[in-house]
Amino acid sequence: MPVGHPAGPVKLGIGDAKLQLDSVQTQKKNEVNPCCYFPCQHKGVCVRFGLDRYQCDCTRTGYYGPNCTTPELWTRIREALRPSPSFYHFILTHGRWIWNIINTTFIRDVLMRLVLTVRANLIPSPPTYNSDHGYISWESYANLSFYTRVLPPVPEDCPTPMGVKGKKELPDPEVLVTSFLLRKEFVPDPQGSNLMFAFFAQHFIHQFFKTSGKMGSAFTSALSHGVDLNQVYGDNPQRQYQLRLFKDGKLKFQMVDGEMYPPSVAETQASMRYPENVPEGHQMAVGQEVFGLLPGLMMYATIWLREHNRVCDILRAEHPSWKDEQLFQTARLILIGETIRIVIEEYVQHLSGYFLKLKFDPELLFGIQFQYQNRISLEFNHLYHWHPLMPDSFVVGDQEYSYEQFVFNTSMLLDYGVEALVDAFSRQRAGQIGGVRNINHHVLHVAISTIKESRELRLQSFNEYRKRFGMKPYTSFQELTGEKQKSAELEELYGDIDALEFYPGLLLEKSLPNSIFGESMVEIGAPFSLKGLLGNPICSPEYWKPSTFGGEIGFNLVKTATLQKLVCLNVKMCPYVSFRVPDPDQVDKQSVKRPSTEL
């Protein structure tokens, strides 16, 4: 393999990605790590030799040459035929009547299989890097305490934080966030996302985004790297036992005015994070110890508690000989399946805006190469900081709650009941995530800390991630944002578009037409999401069969799960429930607005 000699600043041009090199003498004088130039393209791996030499390992990239820039024949043909992300996004979001026909034919399955394989293949499996090892190592594979990484960290000895591009110091995080991300006026999501969607996102991701406060931001405290519903059942055996009833497979609960709610902390002795001013009688215990923070999270925790115990009743009627343990374990598998189906067919479907009807059918991947395992990556964790979804206040019935009134309001769930909260959150619009300044000042600190963490962990630039996920790098800040003033200010702060950081880039990128965020959030986020969902063991040929779920009745619960069923089968009156706000002219006769005393 040829040995490269980058001797000065490297400029990657569009299309040919050739290196424009200065003299070898300049490089030797400066002794800059050549891998700081990121010379290896198309997933090629840079290996340093001595002080001023490197090799690009182009194995199985489809490219060859000193910097993996020359395409092989089949790569050339494939690239010539492959549409751009913007093109296929346009196709998938236009021509509804054509897609209505396609969705009723075998073509839907063909396209869904293509979506799954193309997206999932972008995620390395087994994992390649972590924050301590920017090269292949056994530790990267075997140490589950680490978040894995798709791209290795920027080498520590580079001239600038992003390699060789940009200024020697990155912009002050508080100045950056205050100037470009702080909300001036609430911008609603044009896709109509609501707070039911926002709280579902939070409830869902807290099972696998669990950064370790003790070990640092490169580490996760999660024992599992996927969808296991530990936010319902607890993330360790001790917590699980504290929450289990050990009768009929069920979880502990308390009855209030004839309705089922999570048990108290006092009864379970399960630790929860409540401030001292919260009365002991208002402290409920669930799988995730932080869910007392927001009524929307405790609402979902209550719904899933009821669903688990409902499923246990169904299984017990079918299998009177089964003991508590088998009922519990089988019900958990069913709820995991229900979750994955709702996420793919409703949650991801809503986010995508596609007219192609997404389908949860693990059998689409049977018979092709697919690995049923998953590791949560640091990049996915940072990407999923969607705090612009949060509004400026929260409206339930005729009452408007400020952040101060809403946070740790443990009585709201009991005061209103599940139906009223579902109805209210389904009707209140969430904020647009990308392309606008839309983070409420109460949660601005999260964006600041995310940027600080990304610098501590030396995440590569936004453009490097675009290239890694098959997109062309931006050539200017104006191309990124689609306007002049903001782009000029960013140019002044960063000095070079190739020095723009990962998380700010995701939020600053202009959004797609009538979309909640920009192209990069879709193209980078979707592979992580779909690989994590379909890589779940229940989707494997060994698990995906009726006997896993207690027979055809349990299997059917998984295959027919919807958000509406999840809610309406666990409340007395079915409210308006959706991830999208109702149309303005829609008159919904099922709306609920009543206090808990009527339950």
Residue 17's pLDDT is what? 35
Residue 96's pLDDT is what? 93
Residue 586's pLDDT is what? 59
Task: Report the run of H or E that residue 102 belongs to, with start and end.
Answer: helix 96-102
Residue 5's pLDDT is what? 42
39-43, long-range: CB < 8 A, 24+ apart: 39/4, 39/6, 39/10, 39/67, 40/67, 40/68, 41/12, 41/17, 41/67, 41/68, 41/69, 41/467, 42/68, 42/69, 43/68, 43/468
Q: Which of helix, strand or coil describes residue 466?
A: helix
Exposed, middle or buried, 98 (CB in 10 Å: 0-12/13-18/19+)? exposed
- Report in angstroms the alpha-carbon separations of 539 from 226, 348, 365, 552: 12, 17, 9, 16
Q: Which of helix, strand or coil describes residue 174?
A: helix
Max CA separation in the chain (angstroms)? 82
Strands 63-64 and 148-149: unpaired
DSSP assigned state of 146: B
Residue 458's pLDDT is what? 97
CB atoms within 10 A of CB 582: 15
Rounded CA-CA distance 349/93 in Å is: 11
Rounded CA-CA distance 413/425 in Å is: 12
Exposed, middle or buried, 451 (CB in 10 Å: 0-12/13-18/19+)? buried
Residue 11's pLDDT is what? 34
- φ, ψ at 354 (rounded to 5°): -75, 145
Task: Give the DSSP letter string of 493-513.
Answer: HHSSGGG--HHHHHHHSPBPT
Residue 9's pLDDT is what? 37
Rounded CA-CA distance 308/102 in Å is: 36
CB atoms within 10 A of CB 306: 22
Tokens of 586: 């829609």
- φ, ψ at 182 (rounded to 5°): -65, 130
Please enumerate in sequence order all residues whose Cβ is within 8 A of that of 492, keeping only pairs 6 or more positions apart, or say none.
none
Residue 8's pLDDT is what? 38
Tokens of 214: 């003790």
- Give per-residue pLDDT as tens, 340-371: 999 999 999 999 999 999 999 999 999 888 88
User: Which residues of the chain are modeled with pLDDT < 50?
Assistant: 1-3, 5-29, 587-599
Helices within 244-401 (DSSP H only): 265-268, 295-318, 324-342, 349-352, 378-383
Residue 27's pLDDT is what? 42
Instruction: Identify whether 263 is preceded by a cis peptide bond (ω within 30 of 0).
Output: no
Rounded CA-CA distance 347/202 in Å is: 12
Tokens of 350: 């809503």
**CA triple 524-526-531, angle to 5 deg:** 110
Q: Chain centroid to CA 546: how far?
A: 29
Rounded CA-CA distance 405/3 in Å is: 63
- φ, ψ at 163 (rounded to 5°): 115, -100
Tokens of 178: 């205050």
Tokens of 208: 């696998």
**Mutual orientation of helices 444-456 and 173-180 as an angle, nearest 10°?**
140
DSSP assigned state of 376: -
CB atoms within 10 A of CB 344: 20
Is the CB of residue 240 less than 8 Å from the CB of residue 268? no
Helices within 183-323 (DSSP H only): 195-205, 230-233, 237-243, 265-268, 295-318
DSSP assigned state of 418: H
Rounded CA-CA distance 313/250 in Å is: 9
Tokens of 304: 């899933």
- Report in angstroms the alpha-carbon separations of 72 from 15, 83, 215: 15, 19, 44
Give me the percent of the chain exceeding a pLDDT of 90: 84
Rounded CA-CA distance 309/331 in Å is: 8
Catalytic machinery residues: 206, 384
Strands 259-261 and 399-401: unpaired
Across 543-553, b (16+ Cβ under 10 Å) vs e yields bbeeebbbeeb
Task: Report the run of H or E that residue 558 belongs to, with start and end.
Answer: helix 552-559
Residue 373's pLDDT is what? 87
Residue 326's pLDDT is what? 98
CB atoms within 10 A of CB 24: 14
Is the CB of residue 426 less than 8 Å from the CB of residue 577? yes
